[in-house]
Structures are given as structure tokens and as C-alpha cells.
Structure 1
Amino acid sequence: MHFDKSPKEKPCCTLPTVKKLLEEKRKRETSSLPPSCSAASTSPAPSNAVTQLASTEQYTCTGASSSYSDMALSYESWPADAGYNFFSQPGPTYSTGYSPLMVPEYNALQQLPGFGDAMSQGYQDCQMTVGDPGMPSPWSLLQSPQLSFQPQMDSKKLAEARMLIAAMEQSSLTVQDEDGDTLLHIYTAKGFREHAYAAAEKLSQFRTLDVKEHKGKTPLLVAVAARQAEIAEDLLSLGADVNACDDKGQTALHLASHYGFPDVLQVILSYRPAFNLEARNFEGMTPLHCAAISHSVTVKASAAAGLADEGLQKMAENKLVCVDRLVKEGASLQSQEIKSNKTVLHLAVKEGNLDLVRYLLSISLPNMKDFVNMKAHGHTALHMAAGLHGNPHQEEILRLLLSKGADASVRNLENDQPAHLLQSGPQGEQLKLMLKKRNVSSRRRIMSLQDQE
């Protein structure tokens, strides 16, 4: 919906759109953050990082991407142009703000203490601190899943907000700007918890709590993308749909998993069994797939930046925490991404993500051997590890897979065993010898078992 403003009707103040607010927030983030899943379409990634992201063997998954690494950089499901992408370069500026023309009650917002200053200063009172040194390590987070992130609301601010909202007509609360944002979307993106709560209370009575903006995001999805864990919990407690998805099929779980927000993810997971842990976005991925892909992107960006970038290291840790929480909640490790049939193990091995491979293989599974030998369009994880030419973790990943029962004799659709996909040269010959020894050892063990029977 568009609202035309004539010179005579120009409002005394213009509320910024959610898109503008989140763009301003991106500009305040550290410049060392890695490109997100949509960064390739909005800003160029560092050349050295892009070079490392391209692996020797490509497995096509979309028409616009040649590999999962590339897709994670250009993934259109994370809309940078909508302003929810905090990890890309700042996008273009937008001059059109939220027009209060049709909502005269908005003028009353200026009467609230500090509201005008806060609106002009952006997110200074609700910053998203990626890599906050005060945050606990991911392993301490894993040991204490019940996070304390819901302090009490300011009763005075809440009372003022309720008075303001009570004076508004329904049309004033539900009216949408040119980007489809309602007042609740803006309150949520700004982190104004008391005002968001008061607005959500009223909208829940009208059954319009899940109204969507132009990219299909409900206020809950905006809260997730803006890392407003407290507001997200408030919205859910008031009846927001935890499984609502945007126009890319992304639910709150997809977004929290992709961005690596353990606190927000914990809020959503606390609403069991309402959420759909195996929900697929329109790329055919579950939240666990998204978490795995995003973790690999950050790990590679961190490796390219070096040990000095603590922000990237903390982000990678948080994303691994998200993977762990999804798994402990019951996310299926054997779930395959629809387009390429890859499991999270395939995704981790394909990108040479040693940390994630170690984690996945450390999980106690009754059918670990079957899991390790699952195929994705004919390729096992061992085939993909054999294709990691030049990757410093190739040998260790191969050994880890073999130690968990990976079968070196399995052939892919081209009739190749993993040993056939190794690089040429001394290193390749050494790895080939390791695979052949394991293959011979496996055959002897099978023959021994058959003799015993």
C-alpha cells in the first residue's frame, strides 16, 4: 500500500520504515562480519574469502549457484533488500519513511519520554552485539539451555504505551506503509518492548497479530531477524504463529538458525510442540540445513580473516550452538535437502568444515554407519571428502569418517570409489593407500564374521 503525501499534508515527524531502521543497524555493526547468504547480490565479498569458498568439485544445487558455499553467499531467502540482513554491506538508502498521515495518533508518540531521540538514534538502546566478549562460550551455553533473557518490562513505560495504544483506532494499528510495515513491525525492529507488547495485545484481539510486510515477514519474524529475543517471546505468548513463514518459506526457526542467535532460538524451541522442527523453506531446507550451511560460511570467513577476528569466531561458536540445540531438540540428522539430497554431514564435509564434522560424528547414533554411508545423488560423505583437494583438513576428515564406519568400497553413479576422486601427487597417493588399507581391513572383517556364522 502506498500513501501519497502532498506538501500541505506533510507530517511534523516521519517514522522510519523497518527497512530503514535495520539498514541503520547494519551500519553500526563491525566491518569484519562475514557476508551473509544474500551478500553476493548486494555487495562483493573479499576476494580471498571467495577464492577459498570455491571448492574443487562443485555440486550444483540451484540455477543461480554452483555450490552450497556460493549459495550461502547469494542465498535469496535472506533478503538484504528488506533490511533484515545484518551481516552484509549496507545497502542503498531509502528516502521514503513511514508516513503517519493516515494515523494521526502517531503524533502522540512524540509525547513519550525519549521516544523522539530514540527514533532518531536508531538502535543504540537495543544493539545486537555479535561476538560480545561478555557472552558465555558456546559449550557453557550447551550445558545451560535455559537462558535468562527476559527481564521485567518497565511498568511505567508499559502503562504509557497501553494508554497510547488504547487511544488508537483499529485502522491506525493495522495500517501498513509502502513496505507493508505496521506500527508493530516498527516497534519490534526498534526494540521498543513495552510499545510492541501493548500494540500486540490490541492486535491479538483483532486476530491480526501475524500481519505480513512486503517480504512476508510477520512481527515475530522481524523480532527474530533483529535478535529481539524478549519481544519474540512476548509475541509468542500473545498468540503469534510460531510456524508463520515469509515469502521464501522461512520460519522463525530458519531465521534464528541461519543468523546464529542461540537466545532467540531457545525462545522458539520453548514452544514445543507447536513449532515444526522439520519445516522446509522454499529451497527444500530444514532449519538444521540452514544452520549447517551458515556455520560453514562463517568458519571459512573466520579462517580467511585470521585469529585476530574474535567477532567471527564468536559468531561461528554461536552457530554451532544453534546446530547443537536443534539436534538435541530432535532435528533429524538424516533429513536430506530436497534439491541435492545432502544431509548435514554431506554439507559439512563438502565445505571442509572440520569442527562441524567432528561434532556430527561425536553424536551417539544407533545407526551411525548407515548415517555416514548415506548417499546424495550417488555420493557418500567419503566421496565428498576425497574431493577436498588442497583442503588442509582433508586427511583428518577422511580418518574421522573411516573411524565411524565409512565404506571405502562404495561406488557413486559414475562407478567411482572415493579413492578414484583423490588428487594426484604424493599426498593423493598417501590418502589412496589409507583408503585401500581400510577397504582390505573391512573385507577381512566381513569374511571373518561370515566364517563364524
Structure 2
Amino acid sequence: MHFEKTSKEKPCTQPTVKKLLEQKRKRETSSVLPSCSHSSLAPPTYTLSEGEPSDCPGGSNIQSEMAVSSQMWTPAQCSYPSSQPGPSYTHSYSLSGTPEYEPLSHLPTFGNTQPQPYQEPLMTDLNLSSPWSVVGVGSSQNSVLNFVTPLDENKLQEATMFISGMDYSRTTEQDEDGDTMLHIYTAKGLRECAYAAAERLRSVGRLDAKEHKGKTALLVAVAANHPEIVHDLLLLGADINACDINGQTALHLAAHYGYSMVLQVLLSVHSANLEARNFEGMTPLHCAALSHCAEMKTIYTGGLSDGRATEKLTCVDLLLTAGASLLSQEIKSNKTVLHLAVKEGNIVLVRFLLRNPLANMKVFVDVKEFVNMKAHGHTALHMAAGLHGNPHQKEMMQLLLSRGADPSIRNLENVQAAHLLQRGPEGEQLKVLLKRRNTSSRRRVLSLQDPE
């Protein structure tokens, strides 16, 4: 949509979200980080182009911050201050590169975003007793989470007045990319501006308007890691189960990026669908597990990690605590989160999933049934037996056996786990381990059958 400009009105230099993403990708080509197979999981960054004015001549600070440029509206001769960039967003399965992530400066973070020498975390490292307290599913949507600071009333009033003075159609309609001004303010992290814009769009029933990739403002806030804006939008009635063109809900995106603070906000809403499937057939729990696996794989291979492995493991724990099912299987491969963790050689996640007892579980799970579930005929023990050369193979198999894995189970090719072991001394030792477990299981069965 295009609005004609008067001869006295100059277009604002602030680029649209689409242009900002294009600029970001051009910058990435000149500074590409070491590649890894899961680099697409890295969260994107979105900044203004160099040389943009940092102030708005003759305008107030809030008007400078709220100035939005697109073919839809041209409110004033303003530019967004270059000192306050915010992350951009794209769908989570087609992200390119590994740009630097920069969280909100006034919010607490989980770990250092700079690469650090890796020290394998213990199970006791998972600490949820931070100021960002967990609010369980079923809590009132109107309850304020402990970490959500109040809106700045002065900024909110000024933002509301600014929007009220704009042409009505310019504040409610979408540009050629489907962006409303709410999408842009949300992506920039301008909380009071986004709140005022959300109130305007809600009044015309367009709070969940979608841009060209199917993202509502809530999905943008999640992908940009703005937990307070996520809270505000939910409070105003945004649809928590809305999905983008890839079937990703807000829970999928938060789990995929490993944004535990955003996830806590989302899980405070009782209507969040924990078992929603994206178009890859995965639940948010699968996304959280894959994100952690990608992080650990990068660490194990000596790649450049974003240092948020603990936070991503926290996301897995938050979903399980809220009631996500361990028994959920991917639609494409029938894998559970345990299958995914074992296949990727992620010993940290395997330890976590098989912790004794399974703490904080809202839904009862038969551990033996869980461990022996099949994914296209393969149990987790089959997959562990196929991890030739993995330094954690033996520990992984011991953990599975201690939790009831059955070595006698055969896959679709009528093959037991012992037949998938590597050749050589190491394989022979593991084969003895499986035989001992198998013999012990048979003796137990016989003793149960003959109590005398």
C-alpha cells in the first residue's frame, strides 16, 4: 500500500524490517563465523545501517523512537536512534549465519554470550531459582510475573498521544511486507510504543495481523527475545497458539532459540498448547531438545558456541515441568526427545532425561516404557550401539540399561543392539555389557515365573 507524500514532507530514512534483514545478511557475508551443521539455529540480530541519524531534530525523544518509515506511513522527519538497536526475526528453520546476539541491557541473562572454554555441566547445574521465577501452567494471565517491570507511564502516555495524532489508516494497516507498525516497534524492542500500537490494533480486531512470513507481533516479540513485550501482548489478548508459515507457534520459537525467560512468560498462560505440531511434525519439546543438541555438538566439535547450553537445557525442563509429554514422537521419524539426544551423542541431555527419579514431571511416565520406545523400529539402545567412536557411548548405554532398556529387542531388520556395535576390543566390551544385562533380565523373569 502506498500513500502519497506532500512536497514538504520528506521520507524518513528508517528502513523497513525487510531492508534491515537484507542489510544484516550483507554484513554477515564479510564476517562469517566457523560453520557447523546446526548454525541455522543461531538467533538473528537486527541493527540499523551505519550513518543513520541518532536524533530527531525538533522532536521529542518518544517521537524519535517511534518514527517508522515504510511505504504505508510517513509520520515525521525522524529516524530511530542508532543507539537502541533490536534483534530482527526470521522463521527458525531458514536462518542463515550465526550473527551475534545482544539481549536487552536491563534484563538478567542466563550465562555469558561470549565463547568460553567448555566445562561439561553437571545435573545440579540446572538452577531455576533465579529472579525470573517460573509460573506454572494455569496461572492467571493477568498475574504479573516477578521479572516483568511496570511500563513507564510517561513514555506510554506520550506514545499513545503520538499514535493518536497520526492518520488512523496508517496506524492500523500493513505495508507491502505485511508489517504493521506494531511489528516494527516490537522488533526494535520499544515496549511502550509497541503497547500503544497494540492497543490501537486491538480496537479494530487486528492484534494478530500477520506479516509476509505469517508472524504475528507476538511471534516477532518471541523471536526477538523481548519477554516483557511478550507479556504485554498476551495481557492484551494476543493469540498464543497462532503460527507462522512453518507452523511454528510462540512456544516452538522460544524453545528453538532457547529463550527461557520468554518461555516462562508463555507457560504462564493456561491456553498454551504444549503438544502443538509444526510443519516438521515436532512439538516445542522436540525443538528445545534439538536446540540443546546443536549447542552441545558445536561445543564438542570445538566450534564457536553462544554459551547458552544451560539456558537451553532449562527450556527442556520448563516444558516438562509444565506438562509436555516425554512420550511425544516426531511425525516424520517417530523419535522421542530421548532418541534425538542419543542419536546426537548428547550425554548431558541423556543424563537429564534419565535422571532418577524423573523430577518435576506433571504427567506420569513409565520409565521402562519410555526407554524402550521405538522410532521406526530402533530403540534408544540401538542408536547408542551405533555411536561408534563417540566418547560417551559406554556411559550412554549404561544409563539406558540402568533405566530398563531391553537388549533383546530387535529392530525392523531383526537386529539386536549388540549386532550394531563396532568391531574391536571396545565393541567386545560393550557386547559383554549387553549380554550380562540380557542374562540378568532372563533370570529375573524366571524367578518371577517360579516363586518356589
* Same fold at TM > 0.5: yes
In 2, are the aligned partners of 1:280 and 1:286 still within 8 Å (CA)? yes
- In structure 2, C-alpha distance between the alignment counterparts of 1:423 and 1:87, rounded to whole Å: 40
Q: Which residue of 1 aligns with 2:428?
A: 429
- In structure 2, C-alpha distance between the alignment counterparts of 1:255 and 1:389, rounded to whole Å: 33
- In structure 1, C-alpha distance between the alignment counterparts of 2:147 and 2:409, rounded to whole Å: 49
Letter in 2 for 1:184: L
Q: Which residue of 2 aligns with 1:443?
A: 442
Secondary structure of the equivalent of 1:384?
Answer: helix
Q: Which residue of 1 aligns with 2:81?
A: 118
Show structure 1 runs of 5+ residues with no match: 32-38, 51-71, 79-84, 111-115
- In structure 2, C-alpha distance between the alignment counterparts of 1:329 and 1:239, rounded to whole Å: 21
Q: Which residue of 2 aligns with 1:323?
A: 316
User: Would you tell me which structure has more helix in proportion to its own residues?
Assistant: 1
**1:312 maps onto 2:306 in alignment:** yes
Distance 1:20 1:132, change over 3 A: farther
**1:280 maps onto 2:277 in alignment:** yes
- In structure 2, C-alpha distance between the alignment counterparts of 1:400 and 1:349, rounded to whole Å: 11
**1:107 maps onto 2:76 in alignment:** yes
- In structure 1, C-alpha distance between the alignment counterparts of 2:125 and 2:324, rounded to whole Å: 19
Scaled by the length of structure 2, what TM-score is found? 0.78
Q: Which residue of 1 aligns with 2:120?
A: none
- In structure 2, C-alpha distance between the alignment counterparts of 1:15 and 1:167, rounded to whole Å: 20
Alignment partner for residue 196 of structure 1, among 194, 197, 202? Answer: 194
- In structure 1, C-alpha distance between the alignment counterparts of 2:352 and 2:418, rounded to whole Å: 25
- In structure 2, C-alpha distance between the alignment counterparts of 1:242 and 1:21, rounded to whole Å: 26
**1:17-52 C-alpha deviation (Å, 9 max, x unpaired):** 224446778999xx9xxxxxxx9xxx98736x44xx
Q: Which residue of 1 aligns with 2:34?
A: 46
> How far apart are residue 107 of structure 1 and its match?
1.2
Secondary structure of the equivalent of 1:399?
Answer: helix
Q: Mean alpha-carbon deviation: is it higher for 242-251 or for 141-150?
A: 141-150
Q: Which residue of 2 aligns with 1:170?
A: 168
> How far apart are residue 165 of structure 1 and its match?
1.3
Distance 1:421 1:89, change over 3 A: farther
Secondary structure of the equivalent of 1:430?
Answer: helix
Identity %: 59
**1:86 maps onto 2:75 in alignment:** no
- In structure 1, C-alpha distance between the alignment counterparts of 2:103 and 2:21, rounded to whole Å: 14
Secondary structure of the equivalent of 1:107?
Answer: coil
**1:145 maps onto 2:134 in alignment:** yes
Letter in 2 for 1:118: P
Distance 1:4 1:304, change over 3 A: farther
Distance 1:100 1:416, change over 3 A: closer
Query: How many residues end up aligned between the 2 structures?
Result: 393
In 1, are the aligned partners of 2:266 and 2:272 still within 8 Å (CA)? yes
**1:368 maps onto 2:372 in alignment:** no
Question: Which runs of structure 2 are paired with 1:356-395 in the superposition (5 Å)?
Answer: 356-362=349-355, 363=358, 366-395=365-394
Q: Which residue of 1 aligns with 2:250?
A: 252
> How far apart are residue 422 of structure 1 and its match?
0.6
In 1, are the aligned partners of 2:46 and 2:85 still within 8 Å (CA)? no
> How far apart are residue 371 of structure 1 and its match?
0.7
Q: Which residue of 2 aligns with 1:352?
A: 345
Scaled by the length of structure 1, what TM-score is found? 0.78
> How far apart are residue 173 of structure 1 and its match?
1.5
**1:266-311 C-alpha deviation (Å, 9 max, x unpaired):** 1100011x111100000110000000011100011122237xx7x6
Q: Which residue of 1 aligns with 2:228?
A: 230
> How far apart are residue 121 of structure 1 and its match?
5.0
> How far apart are residue 180 of structure 1 and its match?
1.5
- In structure 2, C-alpha distance between the alignment counterparts of 1:208 and 1:336, rounded to whole Å: 35
- In structure 1, C-alpha distance between the alignment counterparts of 2:370 and 2:183, rounded to whole Å: 42
**1:60-111 C-alpha deviation (Å, 9 max, x unpaired):** xxxxxxxxxxxx556xxx7xxxxxx625999x99xxx97445424x217x3x
**1:205-237 C-alpha deviation (Å, 9 max, x unpaired):** 111000011110000000000000000110010
Q: Which residue of 2 aligns with 1:336?
A: 329
Distance 1:199 1:98, change over 3 A: closer
Letter in 2 for 1:305: G
Q: Which residue of 1 aligns with 2:297?
A: 300
Distance 1:99 1:195, change over 3 A: closer
**1:135-163 C-alpha deviation (Å, 9 max, x unpaired):** xx962226742563311222211111000
Letter in 2 for 1:145: V
- In structure 1, C-alpha distance between the alignment counterparts of 2:394 and 2:103, rounded to whole Å: 48
In 1, are the aligned partners of 2:252 and 2:283 still within 8 Å (CA)? yes
In 2, are the aligned partners of 1:158 and 1:195 still within 8 Å (CA)? yes
- In structure 2, C-alpha distance between the alignment counterparts of 1:303 and 1:129, rounded to whole Å: 27
Question: Which runs of structure 2 are paired with 1:47-62 in the superposition (5 Å)?
Answer: 49-50=36-37
Secondary structure of the equivalent of 1:352?
Answer: coil
Secondary structure of the equivalent of 2:306?
Answer: helix
In 1, are the aligned partners of 2:381 and 2:405 still within 8 Å (CA)? yes
In 1, are the aligned partners of 2:24 and 2:45 still within 8 Å (CA)? no
Q: Which residue of 2 aligns with 1:55?
A: none
